[in-house]
A and B are shown apart, each in its own frame.
Chain A
Amino acid sequence: MKNRLLTLGAVAGLLLLLWGAQRFADEYQVRLLNTAAIFITLALGYHLINGVCGQLHLGPNAFIALGAYTAALLTLTPAEKSRIFFLEPLIWPFSQLTLPFAAALCCGGLVAAGFAFLTGFPVFRVRGDYLAIVTLGFGEVVRVLANNWQGLTNGPLGLKGLAPHTTLWWSWGVAVAALLVITALTRSGYGRAMQAIREDEIAARAMGVDVFRHLMLAYLLSAFFLGVGGGLLAHLVTTISPTLFTFFLTFNLLIIIVVGGLGSATGAVLAALLFTVGGEWLRVVEEPHVLLGFSYPGIPGLRMVIFSLALLLVIIYFRRGLCGGREFTWEGLGRRLRRLKGRIPFGARPQR
């Protein structure tokens, strides 16, 4: 009860912050905040299958692409669509249909989940590195489809001129919803079963866990959030094309959840924030500067070298990442605060 009140308080605090940002932040800062929230949503969706269930899934870009394209096709008006699809007309029913943003986002999530349902049967017949490569294959297949199916996706040209529907309320609202749903799921019996599968699948099976059904549930929910995140992303950047949804996007999400600590939702959120903000700071290395009389030309592409090196170092030397399986709890925060005040000696274990 107390925890629930605290959580409500935190959400209210966030709302207040957003309201402040809406009024006083400039366009660039708002965009950064939106990107951060979308990456939190995507990272949480990805974390559910990789972190909680322990299955190395390498195809989130497919679900993000499906969500983005579905939502975009549903919010565009028929007139805009006929202008965009000048090479080959858009197939019915998308050519006539226009939905409000909320419904379009939901449809994006549902289409992604539908694709997850279809692919889940072959994907979960294999494990380990085979699962990784099969999901990577699905990601690639979706990208190739987006590039070639002129009548649905407008091919390599993509969709331009989407309405910038994604506001701070939408992006952070979805991020908070994703966090609440995924935390609740992880703590429920379903979540415990998923974690049991991660730790030892055979033991979990022996305890009566229906492995396939739990993995499928996680996969569907993860796909839904990835799809909704994709819809938000599409209406933030307002132009989508197949090049946006390559394996590179998957790699970014993988960095986030590994640096955050595989299996920790707290870590995923923190690392997503760090990734977005840190990525902006690191732009410095790609721009020309004059430092103490030395001119530095700026090296394009250096950011990715730093990111991939960071991932390599984290996975080799700090495999636990930022949070390594631990989660933020109000009790934990309270303990830490009391410790700071000196009521509990440092190093004392909590009494159970």
Chain B
Amino acid sequence: MDLVTLMQQLVNGLSLGSLYALIAIGYTLVYGILRLINFAHGDLIMVSAYVGVMGVGLFRWPWPAAFGLAVGLTGLMGVLLERGAYRPLRRAPRISLLISAIAASFFLENLVLVIAGGRPKPFPAPAWSAGAIEAGGLFIPRLSLVIPLTAGVLLLGLFLLVHRTQAGRAMRAIAYDLETTSLMGVNVNRIISLAFLLGSLLAGAGGLLWAMKYPQVNPFMGILPGLKAFIAAVLGGIGNLAGAVLGGLVLGLLEISIVALFPDWGGYRDALAFALLIIILLVRPTGLLGEAVAEEKL
């Protein structure tokens, strides 16, 4: 493999990886606070993409309005999800919470299936996302620049929010000890809603970018990116924001390099993430950057 191809694949891997990172943040925020794998998080990607299709394709809105609405609605959906499916179970065994999350995920998928139909729809990507830049034999699709840049800006904003504001401090405190934080006069429910809102907004943005990269939407499109982003979060150390970003990038680069190095094995690409997960849990369950998260009992 020559240098140009290598750079090419590096760019592809980075763009895929930053998408994973964007989605993984939502998992890690929620897991850090509630110790819950939010199974329905992947489906928020799908919701956002469908709202985008509706806005741009059906109502012919300009893309900033449609995309803004898509991200906003997805954020709202995340908050409603927590209200409806998770809050009533906060004192229940964690296994119930997980089953509730799985049920919520299937509910969202099938609701969209009923409303919009099962046939895949083309995603009307805005004109600026098409085309490519050629530099020194390197062929970079414009989208491969847009995705990492958008993801970078959003992630930077999130880091500032979590580490530099009062609400962010409350969030970190809850992740550390929910009971004690509530005794300190923090409105725990509000902060948990905020965490869901932030994670879902990022998933909304991730969903739109994902749909621009793979411009076809269907009601089940969120499952695989969701699972892989979760694995990325575990890989980086779940509950750790920087870990989620690192995990996402590593997973993206690994996947692309499998496809690039062994084209015949492309079909097994989706199994790679799970194999990686199993290895990580065996060798280093805390992930690359994770501190020792106490393995709590159900």
Contact = CB atoms under 8 A, between A and B. Distances in A.
A, B assembled together = yes
Most A CB contacts (10 A, CB to CB) among B104, B118, B281 go to: B281
Contacts of A201: 297
B140 interface: no
Interface stretch (B159-167, B169-177, B239-247, B269-277): B269-277
B133 interface: no
B99 A315 contact: yes
B295 A304 contact: no
Interface string B259-288: 000000001101100110110011001000
A299 B227 CA distance: 29
B274 A140 contact: yes
B103 A315 contact: yes
Interface of A: 54, 56, 58, 122, 125-130, 132-134, 136-138, 140-141, 144-145, 147-148, 201-202, 247, 251, 254, 258, 262, 299-302, 304-305, 307-309, 311-312, 315-317, 319
A308 B106 contact: yes
A312 B298 contact: no
Contacts of B114: 299-302, 305
A316 B88 CA distance: 7
B100 A315 contact: yes
A254 B95 CA distance: 12
Contacts of B285: 126, 130
A251 B35 CA distance: 22
A319 B92 contact: yes
A164 to B, nearest CB: 29
A137 B277 contact: yes
Contacts of A144: 267-268, 270-271
Interface of B: 35-37, 85, 88-89, 92, 94-96, 98-100, 102-104, 106-107, 110-111, 113-114, 118, 223, 227, 230-231, 234, 267-268, 270-271, 274-275, 277-278, 281-282, 285, 295-298
A251 B106 contact: yes
Contacts of A304: 106, 110, 113
Given A122-B278, A141-B271, A319-B96, A129 B103 contact: no
Given A128-B297, A148-B267, 4 more contacts: A145-B271, A148-B268, A247-B223, A316-B89
A247 B103 CA distance: 12
B40 to A, nearest CB: 11
Between A126, A299, A301, A317, the greatest number of chain B beta carbons within 10 A of the residue's beta carbon is seen for: A301
Contacts of A311: 99, 103, 106
Contacts of A302: 114
A150 B270 CA distance: 17
Chain A's interface: helix, strand, loop or mixed, by majority? helix
A88 B118 CA distance: 32
A309 B106 CA distance: 9
A34 to B, nearest CB: 26
Contacts of A140: 227, 270-271, 274
A145 B267 CA distance: 9
Given A137-B278, A138-B274, A305-B111, A127 B298 contact: yes
A140 B98 CA distance: 18
A201 B231 CA distance: 26
20 contacts: A126-B295, A127-B298, A128-B297, A133-B37, A133-B230, A134-B278, A136-B227, A137-B274, A137-B277, A137-B278, A144-B270, A144-B271, A145-B271, A258-B99, A299-B114, A305-B110, A305-B111, A308-B110, A312-B107, A315-B103
B95 A54 contact: yes
A9 to B, nearest CB: 37
Nearest to B31: A129
B297 A127 contact: yes
A301 B118 contact: yes
A126 B283 CA distance: 12
A54 B298 contact: yes
B94 to A, nearest CB: 6
Given A54-B95, A315-B96, A125 B277 contact: no
Residue from the set B107, B113, B275 with the largest chain A CB neighbour count within 10 Å: B107
Contacts of A147: 267
Given A127-B297, A134-B278, A137-B278, A308 B89 contact: no
